[in-house]
């Protein structure tokens, strides 16, 4: 129990930034951040408790970072949907996900994915997390002449992150129980005592909770038959289905078929509810891996995170005291551990290795798990046909590749 609670604490602190960041991204779509913050926390509470009690796995369910960007910048900005119509599109996409999750389609799709791509998904999410950690910790920044470069060593954020990384790594290598959590606490205390980094502003206000119903059940289906609504819904459904599938398999590669189906379905029901609560769809958080690496093995980890999200209703101002430099090392080390799956790839067979390679690097350098999945799945059958192994590809795999090709083509218009 102690190990599960420590794992839950670690996973919560690693993913707690979602509370503020998700609200700020949705604010650009027109949803008031002081209201959407309640939706973000509420759906996270429901998701984590459902995943713990019903799914029985140590997975954090919360609003997805890539998904909320798709909601704002594609559905609202590019397709010109209102935020109410975007919520309706999210609801329809979640319904498609639920149909897949509750039918044999889910098992057919997961069995169709080649082992090389399954390992690539885990490794790709790993390098994606590493880059997220490096960016959040101020180690890499946008370059003047390149898209990223090493930050100046005069930056207090970079120095604090490096110090925190060393401390956390020492604790981990010494097999200290709760090493991630201890590293977060030490860095947070040090940063605040010496006032090394500025604290984020809090969006939380108890007085705003009475206005929260203004964004609940506000889906607008008036444009459901329009081309832009259908295109947005289809693209979002593709992202939700395969990104969730990839994350479940990447985070828990040894999950049994029965447990996978149960967890996959739980996410579908919670995802459907997210639109009703006025926020973007939920997916398994990649940061769940921090709790898993800390020793989380059962649903108790997710339940712990759910309880902490409840506490967050009243403690958001306290979360602003935790600097990104305290969380970045946990995310970086976790990503490093997930990248160990590269060892299972057959590097001597380029037809196996190249699609996996594309998936891994594009997840990282496009900063999009869904785009990385698309390139990996589309390239796999192409490469296999070139080497004369097209007959080995199953019909469901061809279908998955076709859907992802449609997704990439759709990006031309959106």
What pLDDT digit, counting tens, does each position of 297-319 carry? 889 999 999 999 999 888 776 76
Neighbours of 185 (CB within 10 A): 15
pLDDT at residue 61, as a whole number:
93
Task: Give the whole-angstrom CA distance, residue 10 versus residue 180.
Answer: 6
The whole-number average pLDDT for the span 369-388 is: 90
pLDDT at residue 35, as a whole number:
87
More confident residue, 348 or 227: 348
Task: Give the whole-angstrom CA distance, residue 220 versus residue 82.
Answer: 8
Per the CB < 8 A criterion, the answer to whether 36 and 278 are in contact is yes
For the chain, the domains span 1-342
Question: Across the chain, how many H-helices and E-strands are there?
Answer: 17, 4
Task: Give the whole-angstrom CA distance, residue 153 versus residue 365.
Answer: 24
Task: Give the whole-angstrom CA distance, residue 125 versus residue 118.
Answer: 11
In the predicted model, is pLDDT for residue 10 greater than 60? yes
Q: What is the pTM of this model?
A: 0.75
> What are the pLDDT digits (tens) for 348-370?
999 989 999 999 999 888 877 77
In the predicted model, is pLDDT for residue 413 greater than 80? no
pLDDT at residue 368, as a whole number:
77
pLDDT at residue 203, as a whole number:
52
Secondary structure E strands in 13-143: 61-63, 140-141
pLDDT at residue 205, as a whole number:
62
Closest CA to 404 of 212, 235, 231: 235
Pull the structure tokens for residue 101.
Answer: 């999750």
Percent pLDDT > 70 in the chain is 96
Rounded to the nearest integer, the mean pLDDT of the chain is 86
> What are the pLDDT digits (tens) for 272-297?
999 999 999 998 988 888 888 888 88
In the predicted model, is pLDDT for residue 200 greater than 70? no
Among 53-62, 155-164, 331-340, where is mean pLDDT lowest? Answer: 331-340
Give the distance, in angstroms, between the CA of residue 136 and the centroid of all CA atoms in the same chain: 15
Highest mean pLDDT among 61-75, 311-325, 381-395: 381-395
Q: Is 1 helix (H, G, I), strand (E, B) or coil?
A: coil
Per the CB < 8 A criterion, the answer to whether 370 and 243 are in contact is yes
Q: Which residues contact 92 (CB under 8 A, 6 or more apart)?
A: 224, 233, 237
> What are the pLDDT digits (tens) for 70-124?
788 778 887 789 999 999 999 999 999 999 999 888 888 878 888 888 888 878 8
Q: Which residues contact 314 (CB under 8 A, 6 or more apart)?
A: none
Task: Give the whole-angstrom CA distance, residue 327 versus residue 313.
Answer: 20
- Residue whose entry in the numeric block shows the structure tokens 């590269």: 342
In the predicted model, is pLDDT for residue 239 greater than 70? yes
Task: Give the whole-angstrom CA distance, residue 170 versus residue 175.
Answer: 9
> What are the pLDDT digits (tens) for 256-272?
888 888 999 999 999 99
Separation in Å, CA 224 to CA 85, 230, 248, 276: 8, 7, 30, 17
Task: Name the pLDDT band for 220 (thresholds 50, 70, 90).
Answer: very high
Task: Give the whole-angstrom CA distance, residue 271 versus residue 224.
Answer: 19
Looking at residue 63, what DSSP letter applies?
A: E
Q: Which residues contact 408 (CB under 8 A, 6 or more apart)?
A: 374, 375, 378
> What are the pLDDT digits (tens) for 118-170?
888 878 878 888 888 898 899 999 888 888 899 999 999 999 999 999 999 99
Dihedral sign for Cα 157, 158, 161, 166, please. negative
In the predicted model, is pLDDT for residue 45 greater than 90? yes
DSSP calls for 119-153: HHHHHHHHHHHHHHHHHHTTSEE--SSSS-EEPPT
Closest CA to 54 of 287, 286, 303, 276: 303
Per-residue exposure over 208-218, b if at least 16 CB sit within 10 Å of its own CB, e if not: beeebeebeeb
Q: Are strands 149-150 and 140-141 parallel, antiparallel or unpaired?
A: antiparallel
Task: Give the whole-angstrom CA distance, residue 70 versus residue 91.
Answer: 14
Neighbours of 353 (CB within 10 A): 17
Task: Give the whole-angstrom CA distance, residue 184 versus residue 197.
Answer: 15
């Amino acid at each position: 129990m102690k190990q599960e609670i420590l794992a839950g604490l670690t996973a919560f602190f690693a993913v707690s930034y979602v509370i503020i960041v998700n609200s700020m991204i949705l604010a650009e779509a027109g949803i008031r951040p002081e209201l959407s913050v309640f939706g973000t926390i509420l759906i996270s509470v429901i998701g984590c408790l459902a995943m713990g009690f019903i799914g029985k796995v140590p997975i954090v369910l919360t609003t997805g970072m890539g998904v909320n960007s798709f909601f704002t910048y594609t559905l609202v900005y590019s397709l010109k949907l209102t935020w109410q119509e975007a919520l309706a599109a999210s609801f329809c996409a979640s319904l498609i996900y639920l149909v897949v999750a509750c039918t044999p389609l889910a098992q057919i799709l997961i069995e169709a994915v080649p082992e090389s791509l399954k390992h690539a998904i885990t490794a790709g999410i790993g390098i994606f997390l590493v880059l997220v950690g490096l960016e959040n910790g101020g180690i890499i920044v946008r370059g003047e002449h390149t898209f990223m470069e090493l930050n100046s060593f005069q930056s207090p954020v970079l120095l604090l992150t490096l110090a925190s990384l060393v401390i956390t790594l020492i604790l981990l290598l010494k097999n200290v129980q709760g090493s991630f959590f201890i590293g977060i606490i030490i860095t947070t205390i040090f940063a605040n005592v010496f006032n090394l980094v500025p604290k984020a502003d809090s969006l939380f206000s108890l007085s705003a909770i009475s206005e929260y119903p203004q964004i609940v059940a506000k889906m607008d289906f008036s444009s459901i038959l329009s081309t832009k609504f259908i295109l947005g819904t289809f693209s979002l459904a593709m992202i939700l289905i395969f990104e969730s599938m990839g994350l479940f398999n990447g985070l828990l590669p040894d999950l049994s078929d029965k447990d996978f189906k149960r967890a996959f379905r739980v996410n579908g029901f919670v995802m459907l509810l997210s639109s009703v609560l006025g926020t973007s769809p939920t997916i398994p958080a990649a940061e769940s891996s921090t709790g898993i690496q800390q020793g989380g093995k059962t649903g108790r980890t997710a339940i712990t995170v759910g309880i902490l999200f409840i506490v967050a209703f009243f403690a958001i101002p306290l979360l602003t005291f935790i600097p990104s430099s305290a969380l970045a090392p946990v995310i970086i080390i976790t990503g490093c551990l997930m990248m160990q799956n590269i060892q299972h790839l057959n590097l001597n067979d380029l037809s196996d290795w190249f699609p996996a390679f594309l998936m891994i690097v594009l997840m990282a350098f496009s900063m999009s798990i869904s785009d990385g999945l698309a390139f990996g799945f589309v390239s796999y059958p192409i490469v296999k046909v070139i080497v004369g192994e097209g007959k080995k590809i199953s019909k469901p795999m061809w279908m998955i590749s076709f859907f992802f090709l449609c997704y990439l083509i759709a990006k031309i218009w959106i």
